[in-house]
Structure 1
Amino acid sequence: MRLSKSGYFFLISLLLLITSTTGFAQEQIKLSTYLKQLETQNDIRFSYAPEAIEDISITPTTTPDLQANIEYIKARTGLQITKINERYYSVNAPNSIHIVVLDATTGAPLPNANVMIADQGAGYTTNAEGSAYIPNPTNTIFVEIQYLGYQTVGLNLGPVEYNTVVVSLKPSVDQLEEVLLQPVFTQGIYRTNDGSYRFNTEKFGLLPGIAETDVLQISQTLPGVESVDETVSNINIRGGSNGENLLLWDGMRVYQSGHFYGLISAINPYITEDVFIYRNGTHSRYGESVSGVIDLKAMDEVTDQIHGKATLNLLHANAFLDIPISKKLSVMVAGRRSLNDLYQTPIYNSYSERVFQDTQITNLATPNDQSDLNTSEDFNFFDISAKVLYNPSQKDRLRLNFLAINNNLNFNQNLSNDAFELSETSELNQENIAAGLHWQRTWNSKWSSTVGAYRSQYNLDAANFELLTTEFDTQGNEVISFVGRAQLLYRHKKNVQWEAGYEFIETGVTNSDQTTTPEFRRRVKEVLVGHHLYNQLDWNPFNGKTQINAGVRLTHYPKINEYRFEPRLNLHQKLGAGFALEFHGELKSQSISQAVAFQNEFLGVENRRWIQANGNEIPLITSEQWSTGLVWNKRNWLINLEYFEKSVEGISATTQGFQNQFANSAALGSYQVFGLELIVNKRWRGLGAWLGYTYSNNDYQFDSFDPQSFANNLDITHSLRAAISYDLGRLSTVFGLQWRSGKPFTLPLGEAPSAIQDTEDIPFSAPNAERLTSYFRADLSFKYIVLDKSGYTLKANAAFQNIFNNNNLLDRYFVSQQIGEDQFAINQIENRSLRFTPNFALELSF
């Protein structure tokens, strides 16, 4: 059939009407929504200014092809879309310039970089994708890109219709504290040129026996860092006790470091981004420690999108959220809680057996004779960490921090028969609550300042009921510290940095005891105020071949009339061919320490009570330390050999945990330790292997004891750790070994336990003259990425501690036991390590 002109016109109009109707029937959506769909479908990210596209809507296409969709968006909206790399694309509108700032080494975006326009006093800050948008200028302008720890880049930008500029920043030599060598042991652990170690929890890899990141367990992989009893609450750095360490979380001192009486860290790893560990040559800003410093820093960037993590393992549940409130304000919160009140898993039973062995809890729960005594324990723990981040301007950063840690144990006893029923509950509660506020301002490219204050409070409360004897004991330990801090930072050149600061520290410590048999009550409170000034100069001369960190700390305690002048020094000198020579030295002091109690106190569970220097029977503790070493870092090898010597004066016998003839002494003395540390690390693509070895000799000197010199309770002569890891992409695994020589202990006189006349009258042989058998443990860990999609990741982790089920001996001591009306015998007590302990965890990140 042949159509007329009017027929052709009618057919064409009908087709246009159908096409038009179909088009209108397909709903338009926001461009931002469409871009998120493309991100999910193609595992990419678009970087754009939200205000530039907020009013744009678009009709989605049906094609799955990414490039076709990009061209379609460009044609429909007039926007320019530029490919930055395989994952990132930039979107910008006409009359604007899109600047993308990336790390030159990793290619990762750098959020909160400063984009400064010269001669205009104007500046912009990059978002979470490293992007900033500035108006298209009418004339050529000069822009500086600045980011802390990176070299500043300047460039000229002229008027163009579209422009996306990618700027890759290289690490700068002016961030002198954290010049990184290479990953050590696993991804996320770095050794710096000042001899310290940095852990980055976001990049952290896998370590043997650890199912999820535990910042204090990780520290024990380093040579010179031990725990003689497998806990994180008793970390011994180069022969020092745990009370000689300074533990900080975002500048706030933490007095309680562990959950489950030290078997896991009380610091939530999800809100904690970086951990710095110093064994010697510490920065002059750090005081109040004579051994090591563990400085934990929470994430510190305002986010523009919500993200978080959640983990469930066989011991506790953990969750973290980072929530944007506005462009200048965001809130982070993390919380963790034990789950044993819901269900008891093999790891909980293993931990309970380890913690409560040979205590009142286990002894009464398993009596030797027939009895109507029933016992049960109710244990739980939790921690909460929060941080408010507010950037009122491009130069100002305001931060508010909060931390709460709690361990609670109730031990219930019930005795009943046909005639009567008795019931009592003993309690042990530990908590640490801290809050802090600080303000940082960047005045210009050279000057910045920080002022802040925090308050930290630690409480330990215990009530111990003896149901069969009706004895009642209560004990308490409270620490309240207030710190005011001001700091000024000046960068004169790219290789010179000067820092000065002042700290006001007021610390009050209260110890209380009450008993009914015999009736006794005591309450002692000591308050000490300290004024601290510090100066630090960091210098990288000779084109970065030499690094010098030199500082001094001036301390004054008016109440006890103590003045301290404490220099600190780090020297790193490159020799060529991958070799470098290092020297570290320091003088330090501290006014607060931990007294250690054993045996019958606190249900028989070992506890540590803080005590304050008073200038009399408890003096200021002081230390001197120096070390020198050789480093070779080349071809993915890192070898570091270091010799050290340390002397600590003013220690009290009450802080050392003696369990021999000196158990009830309050004498003052010192200890001297020297040793050698070795690290060997090698990486081949997905395969890594490392070895850490420490030799040390650690001796006490107490002039009032006989003998005056003998081995330190923490003297571990040889310690060796080795591991091998392999990364297959989705699946990672690591196998590790630990071996160390046994710690010292003291035998009673005689070959066998003998009758004695009094509970305090145990005859001992030479102190710490014997050694426990060697400690050996093998651990294994796996990590599998179940899902890795744009926007969320699901991981499954498995860890197996002590896979050969070795029954390692951690401690041996002797107590008297009544065997008759006027007769006592010596009873040998042994503490054993964790047996084979599996743990599994599911981790969701979004």
Structure 2
Amino acid sequence: MRRILRSLVLILCLQPAVASAQQAGKHTVSGYVRDQQTGENLIGVAVISPGSGLGTSTNTYGFYSLTLPATDSVRLLVSYLGYAKQKWVAPASGNLTHTFGLQPLTSELAGVEVVGSREEKLAQSTRMGTVNIPLNQIKAVPALLGERDVLKVLQLLPGVQSGGEGTSGLYVRGGSPDQNLILLDGTPVYNASHLFGFFSVFNADALNNVELIKGGFPARYGGRLSSVLDISMKEGNLKEFHGEGAIGLIASKITVEGPIKQDTASFIFSARRTYIDILARPLIWAATKNASGSSATVGYFFHDLNGKLNWKPSRRDRLYLSAYTGYDKFYARYNDTNEGLADRENSGLGWGNLTAALRWNHLLNDQLFLNTHFTYTKYQFNVGIEQESQYRDPQNAVKTDKFNLRYLSNIRDFSLKSDLEYLPSPDHYIRFGGQYILHSFRPGALQVKDNSGSNDLSRLNSVARTMASEASLYAEDDYRVSERLKVNGGVRLNGFWVDRTLYPSLEPRVSARFLLTEEWALKAAYARTTQYIHLLTNSGIGLPTDLWVPATAKVKPQRAQQVSLGAARTLRHKGEEYELSFETYYKPMRNLIEYREGASFLGTTDNNWQDKVTSGQGWAYGGEVFLQKKTGRTTGWIGYTLAWSKRKFPELNQGRIFPYKYDRRHDASLVVIHHISPTLTLSGTWVYGTGNAVTLSQGHFTLDGYGYNQFDDYGPRNSYRMRAYHRMDLDLSKTKKKRWGEVVNSFSLYNAYSRKNPYYLFLQQGSEDEFGNVTRKPGYREISLFPIIPSFSKSFKF
């Protein structure tokens, strides 16, 4: 293995010199591909030289570079789904630069808009476990309460599961939520959920591209075991002002974009907020208000704000400044006035993210592209309660007792990253770079102030802030060995420094495809990954009380390996194209951590969290089938997963292997989006999944014989299965053209046939009447969360 790695590194290091020697008698064409109407860079566009058969594709910033044999003229064909093809011919005189502006197709297929997606065929790519869902499909999938949600659409893909009914958590190939690297414009987002997991933090109107990688990770990604979700924001319209928004049952949103200086600088701004608390506040106040002056207010809301600036100071440079903030707030306020004395209580729970990114793109030469990225991200939650009570002392003077309690936890990162992309020839696409991250962890801080009665207490208990440094270097090459064989090989070197302890990691990554025919390909991939942070959780639904903690001298980093094998084919039927893939995977994991039995985040300020956890290992393996159609009047996909996920901890379940909580044997999904006419769209989804694994009590026992000290006798961990889960959602959308833009009215049905899916189980005690007859048998009872839920939303563009 060491010889292989040394050879790989040597090849990558020598490649630029070898390629330079091969440039004699050749010329390079480079530039950008953009949307003609908005100036937005287009990602993954195919740029082909028809005469030579050579080609490439644009990167994340729309840049392409293609080195061709010396000829009298250069001929290029640019092709991208949803856009008109464009040809370019120019005399060959040294290296050339050309920027393409593609015109969107809006009248193809009887006026039905064709959605855009990556042009590279599935069978041609070396990538495995990678799915790109067009944003137009994401917006067309039926929504819960009118909120179109990116993460809920990803849950419909094979190998991806949700944490429970309606939640937006991602469990990818047997992994946990913390094992997903979620990037927004290259910046990690630590908590991607609103409303206790029911909605994600991403506003689809502000997004440009969504890509999920489940396996075969390229060397440029690191820090997580299970998946990479790479989300890019729009850059802002460089041509003219535009906007879009929506009004739903629980939330509204607005997005505006336009040029600051035409073709040079632009902006985009997006906002979203729920308003159930505002609508319900008068009702709650009126219901609790009484003659004595007592009243109560209870509410919950969340908001999201996205902003981005884009500036082209020169042909070779581009600057981006982007930011995101989102926050959830639950609050309860109580006021009581009696005989001139007031009692007040304010309590609340809040959590949210803050991210910021400054990026600089620079074209060093026609074949070498540099992206430098400085980012900041923070996630924090806090719980607080304030109580104030007035009373009269024996001298009839008014006194006030006060009690304040606050608990908070946070994680902060500063990161500097540079990536270089080198395209010496159509046979090589070389990427290399490095990153440094400064982590700051505060698992918990508890502040108590109490001056009630004879007490005069002010105390701050806090787990000390932990600082950690993470550095990485990587190199990879997407190398076309022959017409049939293409290999993406790379290596990533990581180091994590914490508590005077260094954790190094060398991670080889390789994926390959072999073409059996033009349409059929066999694929294989291997990746070794390391994760230096952990998420401590007592639940699977992503509560804000989950704690992010680092690897320490006592708690080792998580490590995994993943091997994938599969096949892919591009199918054509009646002029329309389908993509079919089959993948199998095996992923062993070690150094996973869980709370010990009975431990939780409570009390972490009194005892070190490291003493509350136990370390173990896990295994995940299975197979996935995916058939997708991206063009035509009817689009969508079918997915099926057969999977196993297991865990083993020496201090849990008596050291025996047990199913992971979200071990799901069968998982199936069907998504259909049909354009009935250019203005009427019907979409539907159907999902089926094996029931979740849970741990149940098998009985009770007492120690004193009187029933005062009762204990549950639990069986093997996760040994009971709930009933299977299945659900159908429907959506009908009608578009109306206006002089100033368009309006889309959508009517959705969540759980259309009102299936009572199990959400959790509780133990129901038995009861008898006065004659000793059993009126209710003891046993477990299933609780369902959502029946059929209709919703209506109105969206608009201008």
Task: Check whether TM > 0.5.
Answer: yes
Q: Which of the two has greater strand per residue?
A: 2
The 5 Å alignment of 1:398-797 reads 398-413=319-334, 422-464=343-385, 474-514=406-446, 521-543=461-483, 545-559=484-498, 560-576=501-517, 578-597=519-538, 607-616=545-554, 618-635=555-572, 636-654=577-595, 666-681=613-628, 685-688=632-635, 690-705=637-652, 706-728=654-676, 729-750=678-699, 757-758=708-709, 761-787=711-737, 792-797=741-746
Deviations 1:720-753 (A, max 9, x none): 1123332112111122211111111111132899
Q: Find the counterpart in structure 2 of residue 378 from structure 1.
A: 299
User: 2:351, 2:544 within 8 Å by CA — same for their partners in 1?
Assistant: no
Cα distance change of structure 1 residues 683 and 512 upon mapping to structure 2, 3 Å threshold: closer
Deviations 1:41-92 (A, max 9, x none): xxxxxxxxxxxxxxxxxxxxxxxxxxxxxxxxxxxxxxxxxxxxxxxxxxxx
Q: Output the CA distance in 2 between the equivalents of 1:146 and 1:217.
A: 36
My pick for the range that moved more, 568-577 or 441-450, is 568-577
Deviation at 1:108, TM superposition (A): 8.7
2:790 is matched with which residue: 820, 834, 838?
838
My pick for the range that moved more, 776-785 or 637-646, is 637-646
Cα distance change of structure 1 residues 379 and 708 upon mapping to structure 2, 3 Å threshold: same
Q: Output the CA distance in 2 between the equivalents of 1:448 and 1:383.
A: 33
Deviations 1:306-334 (A, max 9, x none): 11212111111111111211131111111
Q: Output the CA distance in 2 between the equivalents of 1:307 and 1:682.
A: 30
Q: Output the CA distance in 2 between the equivalents of 1:675 and 1:773.
A: 21
Deviation at 1:156, TM superposition (A): 3.9
User: 1:598, 1:606 within 8 Å by CA — same for their partners in 2?
Assistant: no
Deviation at 1:375, TM superposition (A): 5.7
Residue aligned with 2:208, SS = strand
Q: Output the CA distance in 1 between the equivalents of 2:138 and 2:595.
A: 38
Residue aligned with 1:561, SS = strand
Residue aligned with 1:680, SS = strand
User: 1:329, 1:390 within 8 Å by CA — same for their partners in 2?
Assistant: yes
Cα distance change of structure 1 residues 713 and 431 upon mapping to structure 2, 3 Å threshold: same
Deviations 1:436-490 (A, max 9, x none): 111111122211111121111111111257999x997532111110000111111
Task: Give the partner amino acid of 1:509.
Answer: F
Root-mean-square deviation (CA, aligned residues, Å) is 4.5
Deviation at 1:428, TM superposition (A): 0.6
Q: Output the CA distance in 1 between the equivalents of 2:791 and 2:749.
A: 6
Deviation at 1:648, TM superposition (A): 1.5
Deviations 1:192-246 (A, max 9, x none): 8443111332575622346454221111111011112145552111111111111
Q: Does 2:205 match 1:266?
A: no
2:223 is matched with which residue: 278, 288, 297?
288
Task: Give the partner amino acid of 2:305.
Answer: I
User: 1:179, 1:193 within 8 Å by CA — same for their partners in 2?
Assistant: no
User: 1:302, 1:390 within 8 Å by CA — same for their partners in 2?
Assistant: no
Deviations 1:561-612 (A, max 9, x none): 111011122222221263221112211111122111469x99xx66322112
Q: Does 2:170 match 1:235?
A: yes
Q: Output the CA distance in 2 between the equivalents of 1:779 and 1:294.
A: 25
Q: Output the CA distance in 2 between the equivalents of 1:315 and 1:308.
A: 21
Task: Give the partner amino acid of 1:723.
Answer: V
Cα distance change of structure 1 residues 668 and 250 upon mapping to structure 2, 3 Å threshold: same
The 5 Å alignment of 1:106-121 reads none
Q: Does 2:119 match 1:198?
A: no
My pick for the range that moved more, 403-412 or 704-713, is 704-713
User: 1:212, 1:797 within 8 Å by CA — same for their partners in 2?
Assistant: no
Q: Output the CA distance in 2 between the equivalents of 1:527 and 1:802.
A: 46
Deviation at 1:411, TM superposition (A): 2.2
Task: Give the partner amino acid of 2:473.
Answer: L
Residue aligned with 1:243, SS = helix
Q: Find the counterpart in structure 2 of residue 77 from structure 1.
A: none
Cα distance change of structure 1 residues 684 and 611 upon mapping to structure 2, 3 Å threshold: closer
Deviation at 1:110, TM superposition (A): 7.5
Q: Output the CA distance in 1 between the equivalents of 2:387 and 2:425.
A: 68
Structure 2 gaps, min length 5: 1-30, 48-61, 63-71, 94-98, 105-116, 390-401, 451-456, 601-609, 766-777
Deviation at 1:514, TM superposition (A): 3.2
Q: Output the CA distance in 1 between the equivalents of 2:764 and 2:549.
A: 26
TM-score (normalised: structure 1): 0.70
User: 1:776, 1:806 within 8 Å by CA — same for their partners in 2?
Assistant: yes
Task: Give the partner amino acid of 1:722.
Answer: L
Q: Output the CA distance in 2 between the equivalents of 1:476 and 1:566.
A: 35
Q: Output the CA distance in 1 between the equivalents of 2:634 and 2:689.
A: 26
Residue aligned with 2:537, SS = strand
Deviation at 1:708, TM superposition (A): 2.4
Q: Does 2:200 match 1:252?
A: no
Q: Find the counterpart in structure 2 of residue 86 from structure 1.
A: none
Residue aligned with 1:181, SS = coil
Structure 1 gaps, min length 5: 1-99, 116-129, 131-140, 159-164, 171-176, 184-189, 350-360, 367-371, 817-825
User: 2:180, 2:227 within 8 Å by CA — same for their partners in 1?
Assistant: yes
Cα distance change of structure 1 residues 648 and 414 upon mapping to structure 2, 3 Å threshold: farther
Q: Output the CA distance in 1 between the equivalents of 2:764 and 2:169.
A: 23
My pick for the range that moved more, 648-657 or 674-683, is 648-657
Deviation at 1:558, TM superposition (A): 3.1
1:207 is matched with which residue: 141, 153, 156?
141
Q: Output the CA distance in 1 between the equivalents of 2:526 and 2:729.
A: 35
Deviation at 1:169, TM superposition (A): 11
TM-score (normalised: structure 2): 0.74
Residue aligned with 1:270, SS = helix
Q: Find the counterpart in structure 2 of residue 314 from structure 1.
A: 249
Deviation at 1:637, TM superposition (A): 3.7
1:810 is matched with which residue: 759, 772, 776?
759
Cα distance change of structure 1 residues 402 and 690 upon mapping to structure 2, 3 Å threshold: closer
Q: Output the CA distance in 2 between the equivalents of 1:112 and 1:690.
A: 27
Task: Give the partner amino acid of 1:841.
Answer: S
Q: Find the counterpart in structure 2 of residue 36 from structure 1.
A: none
User: 1:192, 1:198 within 8 Å by CA — same for their partners in 2?
Assistant: no
User: 1:102, 1:109 within 8 Å by CA — same for their partners in 2?
Assistant: no
Residue aligned with 2:697, SS = coil
User: 1:687, 1:724 within 8 Å by CA — same for their partners in 2?
Assistant: yes
Task: Give the partner amino acid of 1:719.
Answer: D
Task: Give the partner amino acid of 1:840.
Answer: F
Q: How many residue pairs get matched? A: 663
Deviations 1:387-442 (A, max 9, x none): 11000011111111111111111023567889986442221111211111111111
Cα distance change of structure 1 residues 111 and 426 upon mapping to structure 2, 3 Å threshold: closer
